[in-house]
Amino acid sequence: MGVRRRSKVLLAMSGGVDSSVAAVLLKEAGHEVVGCFMRHGDDTDEVAAVSGGAAAEAPAMGHQGCCSVADACDAKHVAAILNVPLYVLNFKREFGRVIDYFVDEYNRGRTPNPCIRCNNWLKFGRLDDYARSMDADFVATGHYARVTHDGESWLREGVDRHKDQSYVLFGTPRTMLSRMLLPVGHYHKDEIRRIAAEAGLPVHDKPDSQEICFVPDNDYMHLVRRRTPQRVEAGPILDREGNVLGRHDGHQHYTVGQRRGLSLSLGHPIYVVEKNADTNAVTVGSASDTFVGGLIATETNWLVDPPSDPDFACHVKIRSNAEAKAAEARVQGDRLEIRFAQPQKAVSPGQAVVCYDGDRVLGGGWIDHAVQVDGETPVTPLRSEGEASSSVRS
């Protein structure tokens, strides 16, 4: 992990196998580990703490994915086995901000990514504030990514590329990198489960959470409709020429690139190619219509020195489970323009675009809209970390 001295580490423990093994690895490295379970849904006191590896009983929170009662009990059990003190933190107010963002983005015609916001605002925001209050040197999580500390601190892809979560950490403040530890990112998933089994942890074969924690049944529209019923209305489904093909029950039901659920039978496959929240219209087209040459992103965050040249070559991911693709980037203040080497499918406003140099995360931004790119724009290729680069300095 690049940190040799004994340090005090505040570890976010969700009750899953990854954060549980993170505790094992940190203790094996000689660190003083303090666990915390982030509670999202109760009005009790902000912090309930029991030292010596046993946590207070978690109050009922309903079925909430990675913050359920069962997960709280699992975190408590693991902490007791490892003799790690466990604190239960009430982040209901802060987490309400994530849910509000999620609903608002859908109502704006965008596709949100609440995991990124949660990481930015809570795990490496509010949680770091708490870590500092208890004089902890580092904040750690069970993410499959790496932070290397070699004079500079860099965010990198996890060793297990199939589980890599560096994409959802792109918004971490650069100043936070020196205080981050991501121990499981140095292992493959099967190794993590083996370590958990060897340590006698009951969560060694616990399934991975596949859901948004506040949408455990995957019915996000139920949440959007319940919170903002006045915003979900029927509207037209249009073709690329603006002809009305049918009706939808609310543009929030759809995302760019979606094929299923359109309730249209035209004799050939159709896909969502655009949404307009102002007119409540959903535009559909062929598979080829979902491919674009580039995108514009804003609200950028850089984990390296800002580019000295506005144009540079890199690889980019446009969704969390996507493969990084070659692209040319142009930075103009808080605006990031991306031109793909090859057209890419289903670029969704509201998602993030993240730039990579090899396995190193450079930074990224939030996709505002997709564009078709014409003409040539010269770019400056990125060089390896050991070389001087006139584009993004390391």
CATH number of residue 260's parent domain? 2.30.30.280
For 94-126, what is each residue's pLDDT tens digit? Answer: 889 999 999 999 999 999 999 999 999 888 888
When pLDDT is cut at 50, 70 and 90, the band that residue 4 belongs to is low
Q: Are residues 174 and 240 in the same domain?
A: no
Q: Are residues 81 and 166 in the same domain?
A: yes
Q: Are residues 367 and 278 in the same domain?
A: no
pLDDT at 317 (0 to 100): 98
Listed residue (90, 97, 123) closest to 22, CA to CA:
123
> Residue 44 corresponds to which amino acid?
T
State the CATH number of the domain containing residue 298. Answer: 2.40.30.10
Residues 111 and 50 sit within 8 Å (Cβ to Cβ):
no
Q: Are residues 36 and 93 in the same domain?
A: yes
Residue 49, domain member (yes or no):
yes
pLDDT at 212 (0 to 100): 82
Q: Are residues 264 and 316 in the same domain?
A: no
220 or 5, which is more confident: 220
Q: Are residues 43 and 191 in the same domain?
A: yes
Q: Is 44 helix (H, G, I), strand (E, B) or coil?
A: coil
pTM above 0.85, yes or no: yes
- Show which of 146, 180, 198 is a domain's final residue: 198
Strands 291-302 and 335-345: antiparallel
Q: Supply the residues annotated as catalytic.
A: 118, 213
Q: Are residues 265 and 361 in the same domain?
A: no
Q: Are residues 189 and 275 in the same domain?
A: no
Q: Are residues 264 and 297 in the same domain?
A: no
- C-alpha pair distances (Å), 359 with each of 172, 250, 379, 383: 17, 40, 20, 13
2 or 294, which is more confident: 294
pLDDT greater than 90 at residue 147: yes
386 or 203, which is more confident: 203
Q: Are residues 315 and 368 in the same domain?
A: yes
Domain count along the chain: 3
Strands 244-248 and 271-276: unpaired
For 334-388, what is each residue's pLDDT tens digit? Answer: 999 999 999 999 999 999 999 999 999 999 999 999 998 664 443 444 433 444 3
| Residue numbers of the domain that contains 272 | 233-285
pLDDT greater than 50 at residue 57: no
For 280-313, what is each residue's pLDDT tens digit? Answer: 999 999 999 999 999 999 999 999 987 677 799 9
Helix and strand numbers (H, E) in the chain are 7, 19
For 152-172, what is each residue's pLDDT tens digit? Answer: 999 999 999 999 999 999 999
State the CATH number of the domain containing residue 13. Answer: 3.40.50.620
pLDDT greater than 60 at residue 44: no
390 or 367, which is more confident: 367
